[in-house]
């Protein structure tokens, strides 16, 4: 590789690094990791992670729900969702059965899953309140509305 080409590549990499602070993807992932760590820390005593709690919550609302619909509702690819569903099923929190169409599977909460949500709910509410207090309730409401709009913008056309 010529020195000129190497210098051009390094210059572009430097520009990318400087612009990283304005990169939408980087900043949203950074914020998501920080918030996820907060929730995961509080949920650890219950043996749940925030991603699993989200799946359980969506399942409760939509059940019976197909794996495809649950993946859409959680904006999760099917392979990642299936991995999480296996863990939740192994813990006895959900049940995955054949759907009406033999090609599709349906997810339902078990009694143990409902119980887990009931135990975790007060902790979830505490974390929600803490974030709202520290960030500001009005700011948080605006942020959540903007994030919902951003999800719509980012969906494939």
How much is the average pLDDT of 4-22? Answer: 70
Q: Do 125 and 131 meet the contact criterion of CB atoms below 8 Å apart?
A: no
Q: Which CATH class is domain 3-154?
A: mainly alpha
Average pLDDT over residues 61-69: 94
What confidence category does residue 17 fall into, taking pLDDT thresholds of 50, 70 and 90? low
Q: How confident is the model at residue 15 (pLDDT cuts 50, 70, 90)?
A: low
Q: What is the mean pLDDT of residues 95-102?
A: 86
Query: What's the token pair of residue 135?
Result: 């960030």
The pLDDT of residue 85:
96
Confidence (pTM): 0.80
Bond from prior residue into 124 cis (ω within 30 degrees of 0): no
Domain ranges for the chain, please list them: 3-154
State mean pLDDT over 71-87.
Answer: 93
- Per-residue pLDDT tens over the stretch 114-124: 999 999 999 99
The pair of structure tokens assigned to 13 is 């990499």
* pLDDT tier at 111, thresholds 50, 70, 90: very high
CA torsion sign for 149, 152, 155, 157 is negative
């Amino acid at each position: 590789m010529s020195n000129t080409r190497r210098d051009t590549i390094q210059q572009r990499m430097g520009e990318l690094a400087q612009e990283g602070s304005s990169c939408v993807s980087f900043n949203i992932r950074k914020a998501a990791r920080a918030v996820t760590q907060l929730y995961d820390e509080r949920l650890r005593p219950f043996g749940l992670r925030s991603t699993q709690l989200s799946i359980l919550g969506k399942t409760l609302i939509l059940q019976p729900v197909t794996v495809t619909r649950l993946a859409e509702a959680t904006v999760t690819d099917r392979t990642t969702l299936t991995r999480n569903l296996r863990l939740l099923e192994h813990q006895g929190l959900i049940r995955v059965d054949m759907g009406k169409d033999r090609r599709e599977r349906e997810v339902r909460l078990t009694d143990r899953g409902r119980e887990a949500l009931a135990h975790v709910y007060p902790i979830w509410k505490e974390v929600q309140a803490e974030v709202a207090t520290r960030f500001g309730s009005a700011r948080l409401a605006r942020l959540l509305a903007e994030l919902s709009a951003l999800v719509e913008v980012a969906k494939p056309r």
